[in-house]
Homo-oligomer: A and B are copies of this chain.
């Protein structure tokens, strides 16, 4: 047994092995995370590598599993290959599909990050090339007239020599000494009006290493987009204050994530950001004022790529930040991410995408074109502005069933403290079912309740906060009761009415009736714990759709992750932003009537 050298391309990373060793074992030891679903017996064909140096003849299993053309190119299965000499290997990520993250559904794609690392060796030479030219040749990038000063400054006597280049779009954006190809991470970020989620991703393997989240600290300047815009437009320092607060929060999340994953912050080289248009503006320090009034056009719609340092994001000194493009002032990069992640527009049948938050964004695809709108649903479906509303945290009622009595489930199975979004929808749906709430949204009087329900249930109708209320869970003291009031139901009605009206406006625009919508995607944290039946019972979606519904989860972070790991997907995101036609509901003829009609709850069977 003697020691040999294996060079891994496209990184140029060098690893050591001994002759006679199994290549799969060697790669595993080197931390190259490949899938070996069959356990390494040559059955699944997942561990393909391309050997560009001299290669052994293919084995029987390989001939079966690998197309002839690829065999000729040197493609083999690592699990069947015995190391015999120095080797040069291309690790074939090309056929690897990134896995579906827990956080949101994500279509399959080829991993090929726009930002890469590449090992280089500068050969000594006697010609008259500048060190810059020698470096770009060694790295294999074309000369870049925009090459930044800091790169030139970092080229010192170290050349001729070797190192690792950080490359973006075939341009060198950083050089590091030694082999740093294994230290290569990225972050995908979802900036919501209410929450911020950050996913730390290994850029070599595509795996998520950690996911962390926090409340958007801009909350203190206003709960919704419009109040933040009002704050920003007061003057430069207010805008700056909003920007600083979100940047600080992101830096905090980065800190938390790297601690969790046990890596160094400076090994993060890119962050992709999906956010609604106003959040993107505030993050970039761009005045969002124009989004606040008709015709609601933002300053920036296209995707943008910026130095992380310029934004105060503390990752690698070469780090970049990419913000996904927006469709309009109220349909942002988060929706583009959602379209990208679900890929629903790629089949030629009809599909609807609904992202429910403080604003509801809806995209409809009729098989040819996407149209989108945004509707101000208000925060009721997030548990905000509801008497006993709360965020989806321990103790929040998230599921409700009413038959003879009220059955509830709380998050963490804790003592009930309030109701979160999905609990509210469930509750209203159940109250409609038993007739305690009428289609008009009115709550029945106690005497009527006693006629239609058990005394047990009827007794739950009480007066709270000078309004009729239904007690969901009794507390030790009366003030600990968890309940819902007539006024709360009105809030839910406004929210679901806004969304249903938006859906109908899009369908009407395309001349499609609800029954002809084949697929429905509900994105957002809200949808994750919801029963489709409840959504349909309160009339936020059509009755037919319960069977056609997919809860897509946080597609914003999923889309951002795809843009982090795939140049093709990033390009697709740019294209999507240009493909979707935006429909402004506030100026649409007849929309007011549509909205009024949409407020009513559906007549039920009781």
Name the distance in Å between A254's Cβ and chain B's nearest Cβ: 20
Measured between alpha carbons, how far is A75 from B42 in the docked complex, in Å?
A: 80
Complex CA–CA separation, A295 to B127 (angstroms): 8
Q: Say if the beta carbon of A219 comes within 8 Å of chain B.
A: no
Assuming the A-B contacts A145-B302, A152-B299, A301-B133, are A287 and B128 also in contact, with contact meaning beta carbons closer than 8 angstroms in the complex?
A: no
- Report the minimum CB–CB distance from A572 to chain B (whole Å): 16
CA distance A584 to B126 in the complex (A): 11
* Cα distance A128–B584 in the bound complex, in angstroms: 9
A300 lies within 8 A of B152 (CB): yes
Among A153-161, A436-444, A455-463, the stretch in contact with B: A153-161
Residues of B within 8 A of A453 (CB): none
| Chain B residues within 8 Å of A303, by CB | 145
Docked-complex contact A300 and B132, CB < 8 angstroms: yes
Complexed CA–CA distance, A247 and B306 (Å): 27
Closest to A584 in B: B128
Take A130-B299, A131-B298, A299-B130 as given contacts and tell me if A153 and B286 are in contact as well, using a CB distance cutoff of 8 Å.
Answer: yes
Is A546 interfacial (CB-CB < 8 Å)? no
- Chain A window 279-290, contacts with chain B (Cβ cutoff 8 Å), 1 for yes, 0 for no: 000001111011
For A290, the chain B residues whose CB sits under 8 A away are 131, 157, 159
8 Å CB contacts to B: which residues of A138-183?
143, 145, 149, 152-153, 155-157, 159
Q: In the complex, what residues of B have CB within 8 A of residue A149's CB?
A: 284-286, 304, 306, 310
Given contacts A284-B149, A306-B149, A310-B149, contact A299 B155 (CB under 8 A): yes
CA distance A286 to B147 in the complex (A): 13
A299 pairs with B126, CB closer than 8 A = no
Q: A103: shortest Cβ distance to chain B, in Å?
A: 29
A129 at the interface (CB under 8 A from B): yes
Indicate if the CB atoms of A130 and B297 lie closer than 8 Å: yes
Contact partner of A289 (CB less than 8 A), chosen from B153, B157, B299, is: B157
Q: Is A582 an interface residue (CB 8 A)?
A: yes
A233 to B157, CA, bound (A): 9
Contacting residue for A129 out of B126, B132, B297, CB 8 A: B297
**A143: B residues at CB distance < 8 A:** 302
Q: B153, B305, B328: which contacts A285 (Cβ < 8 A)?
A: B153
Shortest beta-carbon distance, A337 to chain B, in Å?
18
A372 smallest CB distance to B (angstroms) = 11
Interface of chain A: mostly helix, strand, loop or mixed: loop
**In the complex, what residues of B have CB within 8 A of residue A287's CB?**
153, 155-157
**What residue in chain B is nearest A299 (Cβ atoms)?**
B131
Cα-based distance from A127 to B297 in the complex (angstroms): 9
| Residues of B close to A301: CB separation below 8 A | 130, 132-133
- CB neighbours (8 Å) of A132 from chain B are 299-302
Set of chain B residues within 8 Å of A128, measured between Cβ atoms:
295, 297, 328, 582, 584
Query: How many angstroms between the C-alpha atoms of A299 and B159 in the bound complex?
Result: 9
**Chain B residues near A295 (CB-CB < 8 A):** 126-128
A289: chain B residues within 8 A (beta carbon): 156-157
* CA gap between A285 and B148 in the complex, in Å: 12
Interface pair B286/A152, CB less than 8 Å apart: yes
Determine the distance from Cα of A306 to Cα of B145 in the docked complex, in whole angstroms: 11
Alpha-carbon distance A303/B152, docked complex (angstroms) = 13
For residue A286, which residues in chain B have a CB less than 8 angstroms away from its CB? Answer: 149, 152-153, 155
Residues of chain B within 8 A of A299, CB atoms compared: 130-132, 152, 155
Which among B127, B284, B584 is the interface contact of A152 at CB below 8 angstroms? B284
Contacts A157-B290, A289-B156, A310-B149 given: A130-B298 contact, CB under 8 Å? yes
Nearest-CB distance from A589 to chain B (Å)? Answer: 15
Which B residues are in CB contact (< 8 Å) with A152? Answer: 284, 286, 299-300, 304
Which residue from chain B places its CB closest to the CB of A295 in the assembled complex?
B126
Please measure, in the bound complex, the distance between the C-alpha atom of A301 and the C-alpha atom of B130, giving whole angstroms.
6
B residues near A284, Cβ cutoff 8 Å: 149, 152-153
- CA of A35 to CA of B328, assembled, Å: 51
| 22 pairs from A and B in contact (CB 8 Å cutoff) | A128-B295, A129-B297, A130-B297, A130-B298, A130-B302, A131-B297, A131-B299, A132-B300, A132-B302, A133-B301, A143-B302, A145-B302, A145-B304, A149-B304, A152-B299, A152-B300, A152-B304, A153-B285, A155-B286, A155-B287, A157-B233, A157-B289
Which 8 A-B residue pairings sit nearest by Cβ, starting from the closest?
Answer: A130-B301, A131-B299, A156-B287, A152-B286, A155-B299, A157-B289, A130-B298, A152-B300
Q: A130-B297, A153-B285, A155-B299 are in contact. List 11 more A-B contacts (CB 8 A).
A: A128-B297, A129-B297, A130-B300, A133-B301, A134-B297, A149-B286, A152-B299, A153-B284, A155-B286, A155-B287, A156-B287
